Homo-oligomer: A and B are copies of this chain.
Amino acid sequence: MPTSRSYRDSCGIARALDVVGERWALLVVRELLFAPQRFSELRHALPHISSNLLADRLRELEHNGVIRRGLAPAEGPQVYELTEWGRKLEPILLALGDWGIDAPQPPPPTVLSATSVLIFLQGVARPDPAAPPMTCRLELDGRVWTVRLASGRVQVQPGEPTTADVSLRAEPKTLNALLADPATLATACADGSAAVVGDLSAIGRLLHAVNDPWPSDGHTSVS
């Protein structure tokens, strides 16, 4: 049974919270920021939410016009995606995440979704604007992403790149650890927690863009 509880407050803030203020709602939106996702992918990204609650949240968010059930792309699986209005939450969520970095760390074990690492990567990486463009294929939790470094910016897109300098497969937590300390890349490759195909130095450039940004401005990992 979905929630139907309102602040009964005319303020825009309260009305926004009537829509996305319920528990888990904004984390579901977070997971949809970069790409549509299936029910099972959302469950994997948010392992602590129960299936009935996720179903409730999806129903409510759909009913309120924040997400929609994906118009199945040629017999593809059922997916959930943000509406135009829902997409406008992106800058707000990014700002909230930036604010939350200073919050006390929750006690481990904690979870880290692929989307979370990509948000972090896109948010704080500042590649050398002078360096030549680069394309990286990332495989996280079984999904493929295209990451482009070009003209001082990082661009994350869902799906396979048409061409790439390098491919990296790892768990989100492993990638986060690499972003925090690029020196562990060799170890991660050796023990199999990271699998690299192609130009290894390109991965170095990617990790470098986070740790030695142009210009420098703090943050070294999600944690």
Q: A residues bordering B, Cβ < 8 Å? A: 6-19, 21, 23, 26-27, 30, 46, 48, 64, 85, 88-89, 91-93, 95-107, 109-113, 116, 119-120, 176, 222-223
Residue ID in chain B nearest A104 by CB atoms = B64
CA distance A16 to B222 in the complex (A): 13
Asked if B97 and A12 sit within 8 Å, CB to CB, the answer is yes
CA distance A223 to B15 in the complex (A): 10
Contacts of A96 in B (CB 8 A): 12-13, 16-17, 92
Residue ID in chain B nearest A113 by CB atoms = B11
Residue ID in chain B nearest A86 by CB atoms = B99
Asked if A9 and B27 sit within 8 Å, CB to CB, the answer is yes
CA distance A42 to B120 in the complex (A): 36
Contacts of A107 in B (CB 8 A): 6, 8
User: In the complex, how many angstroms separate the beta carbon of A43 from the nearest chain B beta carbon?
Assistant: 14
User: In the complex, how many angstroms separate the beta carbon of A56 from the nearest chain B beta carbon?
Assistant: 16
Asked if A99 and B89 sit within 8 Å, CB to CB, the answer is yes
Asked if B21 and A23 sit within 8 Å, CB to CB, the answer is yes
Asked if B9 and A116 sit within 8 Å, CB to CB, the answer is yes
Contacts of A18 in B (CB 8 A): 100, 103, 106
CA distance A96 to B66 in the complex (A): 14
Contacts of A101 in B (CB 8 A): 12, 15
Asked if B91 and A19 sit within 8 Å, CB to CB, the answer is no
21 contacts between A and B (CB under 8 A): A6-B106, A6-B107, A7-B27, A7-B106, A9-B46, A9-B113, A10-B105, A10-B223, A11-B97, A11-B116, A11-B119, A11-B222, A12-B99, A12-B120, A13-B26, A13-B93, A13-B100, A13-B119, A19-B103, A21-B26, A95-B95
Contacts of A113 in B (CB 8 A): 9, 11
Asked if B16 and A100 sit within 8 Å, CB to CB, the answer is yes
CA distance A8 to B112 in the complex (A): 9
Asked if B92 and A16 sit within 8 Å, CB to CB, the answer is no
User: In the complex, how many angstroms separate the beta carbon of A25 from the nearest chain B beta carbon?
Assistant: 9
Contacts of A176 in B (CB 8 A): 10
Asked if B106 and A13 sit within 8 Å, CB to CB, the answer is no
Contacts of A109 in B (CB 8 A): 8
